Each structure stands twice: as C-alpha cells, then as structure tokens.
Chains A and B, each alone.
Chain A
Amino acid sequence: MQTKAVFGIILALKGKSMLFYTDLHIHSKYSRATSKNCDLEELALWAEKKGLSLISTGDFTHPAWFNEIKEKLIPAGNGVFRLKPEIEKRIFKGSEPVKFILSVEISTIYKKWDKTRKVHHVVFMPNLHSAENFRNKLGAIGNINSDGRPILGLDSRNLLETVLDSGEGAYIIPAHIWTPWFSVLGSKSGFDSIEDCYDDLSDYIFAVETGLSSDPEMNWHVSKLDKFRLVSNSDAHSPSKLAREATVFDHNPDYFTLMHALKTGEGYVGTVEFFPEEGKYHEDGHRKCNVCMTPEETKKHNGICPVCGKPVTIGVSYRVNELSDRKEIITPPPTAGKVFSLVPLPEILAEIMQVGPSSKSVALEYERLVGKFGSELSILQNIPLDELSKSSEMLGEGISRLRAGKVIKQAGYDGEYGVIKLFNEDELVKKKLYKSKIKYRHS
C-alpha cells in the first residue's frame, strides 16, 4: 500500500526504529465458542488490517485444522509458514504478507498435592514433523479430535515433557497466567509458582503470557516472575479480535529469532496491553449478584459476597497482591520490555459514535481509517495526531488521550469485561438518546 510506505518513511525520518507486532495465541474455527469464519484467509486478512507481521496458527492438533494448515500454508524457512502464493496474492496487494508459526493451546486438568489443577498452556512447534509427533503422542493421552483446544488429564510437567520430546525447538509458554479458573497462577486452580507447576522441567519455561486482565506492571510485583520474559497475545476467538494484545520485536522475527528474543531479550521490545481493568477477571465479585469489589473491599468482606453470602470469584488483582513480595514503588526488572497500553480501535469508534463496537457504522469507519492510514496498530501508536485529527477531530482527541494514558476505567470482574472510556459522556455528540452507560462486551 502506498500510504503505508509513506508513513514508513515518516517514521524513519523521525528517527524511531521500526516495530514488528506478533500475536502468538489465537484460535481457529475448530475451538469451542469461536467464530465460524476463523480460517487462515480471514486471519491473514485481519492480521494485515491490525498491522501484525506474524501470527500463530492456533489449534494445530485438531485434524481438520491441521489438514487446512498443510493445504494452505507452505514452509518459508526458519520455522515460519506463509500462505500459498495464489492465496497470498488475493489478500496482500503489495503489503508484506503475514507469516505464521505453529501453535496450539492445551488445557490440562489433573490432581496435584490433593487439589484439582486446571492450567492452560500455549505449545509451539518449529516444523510440521514435530507437530505431527506431538499430535501422535496426544492421541494416546486424550481426545484431540473434538476441540481445537484439547483437554487432557495430564500433569503439566508431563505435558511439557511430551512437548520437549516432540522435537528440537518445541516450547511451552504458560497461557494468561493469572486467570482464576485456568492458569498456572490462577486463584482457583493454579499454583503459587511456575516451578510448582512444571517441577523439574521448569527451566524450560522462559516466557509467560500476561493475559488480558494483567499488565506487566502487575507482574513486576512478583519477584519470582522476574526471570521470565512477558508476552501478550489476543487469545482471539474471531479474526477481528486479533492484536488486541500483542508481543513486539525490533526485527521481523522468524520462529527461532522470536524464541531467542524471548529467551535472551535480544530483539524483544515489549508488549501491547489492554488496560488490565478491561479484562474479565480484573477485580473480584459475582456477576450474577452484580457485585464488583476491589481487593481491599474483598478483604473487608472476608471474601464473601454481600448479596448471596458465597465466596466471590477472586480476580487477578487480588491474586497478584496475594503473591506479591514488592509492595514498594515498582521498578521494572531487567527482563522487562516496553508497555504499550491500548484500547481496540473499534471500541474507540463505538464510543465516539455512541453505537455498539460491532455495528455497521463502526465497521465502515474502521475500514476507511485502516485503508487510509495502513493499520489499526499504526493508528493507535504512530500516526501523527494532526493527521488523525484531519480525518476525524474526535478520533485525534481520543487517540491523544489514549497515548497519554488519560483514560476512564471501569474494572471487569467474574467473567464480565471492564470498560475503558476516553471521553466523558457530556463531551460526546448525542446522536441517539442519551445513554447513561455504554454497554458492550467482547464476544
């Protein structure tokens, strides 16, 4: 695209180094509760709109998805894949085509030390042969045919062993490590440390995923996480949700340079983050009882819901507090990267236009802006504000507040997404009847 090239030059002139965005944890249409159009072409198309240079395939253990991968992707060297030329030509008209790496999320449910553990892991494979090995091994462990994110009754340590045995360069990154129900440090069914979970093989873990409900700063409160590089990914269940979080590099990575960057920090820049308040498990409470409490309030109530009298779902913030050993002012550990806190563009447009983020008018405006400026991430991060203001004054103002971190936050809890706003309600053009609350959620 012409425009993109032009802005590339502008950025270069400004002396900023080029950033490369990746999204390493996504799902296909073969996972439960995912969008029907989650196929490789749609994912590639949306990756381009978002401004991603590399995404993962997700779900490669699923037989139908694995076939689709083998049918439509070709190895492009160093552990990355690209769409076959004839498909690429249809999607990428002149822009750099997105690359893929093989990954799958695995859920393990098992007992350890008399407690049921439920942990999600993102598994990465450097080539089809290792992926095939891994699929074969899982076949004797559980059912990989019905869900793109298989559920196994296997100890996480043994899953890691199976991954490592599948081929040189195969890895696990623990997924959304703070989620209460399904993660390595989750309050409901996780552990108190990465080492308790992966046992003697813990040294093979070098990166962890922050998840939507936590940001790097929250993780820096826990010193035993210092040694792990933080990654952020969308965990998208539909293509348009790609890149809502992302991991950023200073070079266009392949599988091996990416893993090397996560192991050593060479080439790792940082992460694109949700405001953690927007995640569905940031604070504590009960969705059904309409009760949302901060960790301090929860402590005051002894963890009991004032409406129904049952224990509340403990959110990420509380859990981080629980494991935190740094109460003083936080300085980032040496492994830390840069943090880019963003709000997805459709949500900003929805707020300005006072309609739902998946409404048609938002979609049209989104397409117009992306067409004009190149990609969503560049609109949110680097297009000069005056350029944006020329296109839409409200957008320019909104993005300027976003880049300055001046946002209004309403925290998510117990599975309910939080809300991040850029404007006070009286600032907004009243296109429709005045709404007291902007109600929308992600699918």
Chain B
Amino acid sequence: MLTNRIAHLIKDKQILPQNCLAITFTRRAAQEMRERLYKILGDRAKSIKINTFHSLCFEILKDNFDKAGLSENFTVMSDQERALCKDSKLLETAISFDDLITLTIKLFDENKDLTDFYREQFKYVFVDEYQDIDLNQYKLIKYLVPDNGNIFVIGDPNQAIYGFRGGNSKFFNNFKEDFPKTEIINLKNNYRSTNNIVNASNQMINSYNIISVYDKPHEKITIHAAPTDKAEAEFIASTIENLIGGHSFFSIDSQRSSGQENDYSFSDFVILYRTSTQLPPIIEALKRTGMPFVKLSNDLLCENKNVIELLTLLTDETPVNGQLEALYEEFSSKIDDYVLKYLLNLALEHNNKNDFIHEVSFITEADTLDPRADRIALMTLHASKGLEFKCVFIAGLENEILPLYRAKTEEEITEEQRLLYVGMTRAKERLFLTRAVKRKWLGIVKNLEISPFLAKIQEDLLNFSKFEKQFKEKNNSEQLSLF
C-alpha cells in the first residue's frame, strides 16, 4: 500500500525520489520495501530514503555530529556489545539505540535551521505501522513534518501490540488533530485472507470494519485440542507434512498423506507462539520429521552465551580470522558449525577485533542461514507483524498463555487480544489454532483453560479436529451422568 503510493507519486505525479522518506518498523520491512520499489521504479528507487527510526537518526547524527555534541567516529552499541567491549576509548564514543532518537530530537530542538533543512529535503514522509509508535518517535515525526506538511501514514489500531514498550495508538487516533488537513481513507477490504479467516478475526476482536474480498466458501478454521503439549507439537508437524503432500515415499506409502491438491512449499508455513518457552516440543517434533525450519527472532547472535564466550576470548593483537580458526575446534561442540563458518567468513572482511564485534552485534541467528533455502518459519506473535503466510499455526491458545499470565489490567488483556488478532490475520488460506489440555508451563504440569478469546468466534466458522471432538463428547457425557 505504502509502496504503491510512493511509486505512484514518483511515476505519475513527477515527485522527486530524493524528496521521499519512508519509515518502517523493522529492517526487514525496509529491505522488502526497497526491493519492491526497485521492481516498479528501477534505478529511480535508489534515491528514495527508506529507513527505520534508528537508521534514520543514525544518519542524521552522523551528518551533524558536531552540533549533536558527538565525536565524528561515534558508534552505536547494543547492551550486549557494550558488555563485551574492553576498549575504554571505544566505550566513550559509543551511544545506545535509545540515545539515537533522543539525541536527534535534542538536535532538532536546538537547531531550528536543521529542522527546516530536513523539512525541505523530505517533503513527502511515509510512516508504516503508525499505531505502534511511541512518544519519542512521535516527537521526531512532528519535527520532520510541519502541521501543513505532506505526510502519509498507515496504521491499524487493532494491531497495536507494543504498549508494553511505550507504543501508543493514541498518536494514531489523534492524527487528525496533529495534522488538521488530513484526509482519512478507511481500508475495509482485506485482499490477503479468506472470508472465514477475516470473519473469525473480526469476531474474536469484536470489530467489524474489515471485510474479505473473497466471498466463496473456504476452508474452515481448525481448532485442535491436543492431550499434551507434545501431542500439540506432533499435530502441527504432521499437519504440515500432510499439506506439503507427503515429502517422502514413506508418508505416501503408509497413507499418512493423500498427496493431493495442495501446492505448498516450506516457506508457506509459519508457527506462531506467545513466548519462546512454548518452543522445545515444537522444535523436537519438527526435527523428527526432517523438514527444514528456522526460528526467526530478533534475538541477536551475541545474546547466545557460547557466542559471547567466544567473542570475549578475542584479542586485538592478531587478525580475528586466525584467532577464530585456532578456537574452532574448542567451540565446534558448543556452537553450530554453520554459525562458526559464518563468523569465519565475516572475519575475512572484518579482521580487526572491534570492527568484527560491531558487525556481529547486529546479526541474528537467522542471518547465518543460507537465504536460498525454503524453511518453515517459527516466530513469536510479535515478530509476525506485517508478514503473511498461506498457512498459519498459532500454538498455545490457553488462558495464561493467550492472554499471557502477566497481563492483568483490562488494557493489558486487550493488547493480548490484539496480538492474537495480528497472528490470525497473517493467514491467507488456512489457520490452525491449537492448544494442549495438559502442558508443562512455568516448570509444572498444568491443565490450562481454553483461551477466552476463542469463545467469541462463531462455531460455523470452525472445524474442530478429531481430538477436540472426542474431548467435547466426553465432557458432555460426563455432564449427563451427573444428572
């Protein structure tokens, strides 16, 4: 949507690409937008600025380091990197990610001419996921865009899920007051999901302003209750195996899979969860099937304690790649081989220790994998924002998981509900909501209640898979015998 508008303005309205600034929420989203714009505009896409809040501020501060009171070679360090760094000089010139934004605001506050300069340069500003911005990001936008400026934002208050770290959809709701001449366009058509998925998500969140453009009857949404968390994981893995259409002779010969109809590959699947404590049984079940999968998280490689250990052993004295080669054997049992190989390759380009650590500090584990290969994706509900998949599994639809036990206030609980909404609306064709009757949760085996959010979905949209049916029948018969 945002991409198409930028392309339209440049192609049809003769707007200069260098006057456009697009701000996305993640680096991945920025990357995707850049690729799509290249496809539409070709080389003209090169001079469009596409940034995250952090990278935008980093560039502004680099260009104006003196006025911001920074040294020319200032760096940004994550907390992890800071903990690893023994170079006091480097530490002195390093700022944190949060500093990036506050220092930029301060810069604009103290230098009216700079504010004007950037307002002149970025005449057209575009912001994605506006419902999730926080106070500082809001302030920054107010500096960059005058009240009568040209700003285009997209947001969905139903998808505001970053309240816990300061995101606030009030900025979205107050947009018209901030920019009085705003024209509001309501997007009510969902071009992504089947009508069953859209209707069920609407019912779940009790908001009906979105409709699906697909009105033929579609696959119902599956709710599966497994006896245990292990069985839940097994259900997910074997369902994917089935939908892929039997990836081995074995599955077809033993009729585990009909091998019919579907045209799915591994990257059409995502398994979403509320917290990573749900992961171990899922990973185990997937490993047994042999299907390729990847946990896509924003967890950095340098948060892994074995990687930290490796990095702390590095010294300034010799080139990093030589040191890594010497340490290879020792760490081959603790760190995956392909990760070590990746680090070795990285060290060939960044052979100085500080340089190397700085590079490593931005890398997630997923970055070390071969990007040419398809895999089933595993991620938290939060990380799924903005993405789409043909088949979505959401695991752990139980009270205490969704909503998470930590959510106590009304406000916190509705944010959990929106989080489920985000997850459900990632699905294009098939949606599976699974839960376990018995699960190991926070160290003890518990029988968690079904998530209250599911109660709002009407039964005619749902398909209860086998175990759920038996379970329901059993419950009924028990009730009957009481009378």
Contact = CB atoms under 8 A, between A and B. Distances in A.
A and B found bound together: yes
A137 B291 CA distance: 17
Interface in A136-154: 136-137, 139-143, 145-147, 149-154
Contacts of B250: 32-33
Interface string A146-172: 110111111100100000000000000
Interface string A105-129: 0010111000110100000000000
Contacts of A115: 263
Interface in B269-300: 287-293
A258 B369 CA distance: 35
A182 interface: yes
Interface string B360-386: 000000001110111100000000000
Given A116-B264, A136-B341, A153 B290 contact: no
B248 A107 contact: yes
Contacts of B265: 109-111, 116, 153
B338 A140 contact: yes
B9 interface: no
A152 B373 CA distance: 7
B12 interface: no
B246 interface: yes
A153 B267 contact: yes
Interface residues of A, number: 36
Contact of A151 (B245, B291, B341): B291
Contacts of A150: 290
A181 interface: yes
Nearest to A117: B265
Among B267, B293, B373: residue with most chain A CB under 10 A: B373
Contacts of B342: 140
A310 interface: yes
Among A150, A153, A158, A310: residue with most chain B CB under 10 A: A153
Interface string B317-358: 000000000000000000011100110000000000000000
A356 interface: no
A115 B261 CA distance: 12
Nearest to A311: B260
Contacts, number: 102
A415 interface: yes
Interface string B76-87: 000000000000
A201 B422 CA distance: 42
Contacts of A143: 287, 290-293
A145 B372 contact: no
Contact of A107 (B245, B247, B336, B372): B247
Interface in B227-267: 244-250, 252-255, 259-260, 262-267
Contacts of B341: 136, 140
A383 to B, nearest CB: 34
Given A33-B250, A141-B292, A146-B287, A188 B259 contact: yes
B247 A141 contact: no
A151 B289 CA distance: 9
B338 A147 contact: no
Nearest to B257: A181
Interface string A174-188: 000000011000001
Among A142, A147, A149, A188: residue with most chain B CB under 10 A: A142
A116 B336 contact: no
Contacts of A110: 265-266, 374
Contact of A154 (B252, B293, B373): B373
Contacts of A310: 260
A308 B214 CA distance: 29
B461 to A, nearest CB: 26
Contacts of B267: 111, 153
Contact of B370 (A32, A33, A140): A140
Interface of B is mostly: loop
B255 to A, nearest CB: 8
Interface in B366-414: 368-370, 372-375
A236 to B, nearest CB: 13
Nearest to A154: B373
A32 B256 CA distance: 14
Contact of A139 (B245, B287, B291, B336): B336
Contact of A415 (B244, B253, B336): B253
A284 to B, nearest CB: 14
Contacts of B255: 288
B264 A142 contact: no
Among A158, A188, A310, A415: residue with most chain B CB under 10 A: A415
B271 to A, nearest CB: 15
Contacts of B262: 116
A244 to B, nearest CB: 15
A141 B369 contact: yes
A311 B252 CA distance: 16
A118 B247 contact: yes
Interface string A31-74: 01100000000000000000000000000000000000000000
A146 B254 CA distance: 19
Contacts of A146: 287-290
Contacts of A141: 292, 369-370, 372-373
Contacts of A118: 245, 247
Contacts of B260: 310-311
A151 B368 CA distance: 19
Contacts of B290: 32, 143, 146-147, 150-151
A319 B341 CA distance: 43
A316 to B, nearest CB: 14
Contacts of B370: 137, 140-141, 154
12 contacts: A107-B248, A109-B266, A116-B263, A142-B292, A143-B287, A152-B292, A152-B373, A153-B374, A154-B370, A181-B249, A182-B249, A189-B245
Interface of A: 32-33, 107, 109-111, 115-116, 118, 136-137, 139-143, 145-147, 149-155, 158, 181-182, 188-189, 288, 310-311, 313, 415
Given A155-B372, A415-B253, 15 more contacts: A32-B248, A107-B248, A109-B244, A136-B338, A136-B341, A142-B375, A143-B287, A147-B290, A153-B292, A153-B375, A181-B249, A181-B259, A182-B249, A188-B259, A310-B260
Q: Which 10 A-B residue pairings sit nearest by Cβ, starting from the closest?
A: A153-B374, A140-B338, A142-B292, A147-B290, A33-B250, A153-B266, A141-B373, A139-B338, A146-B290, A154-B373
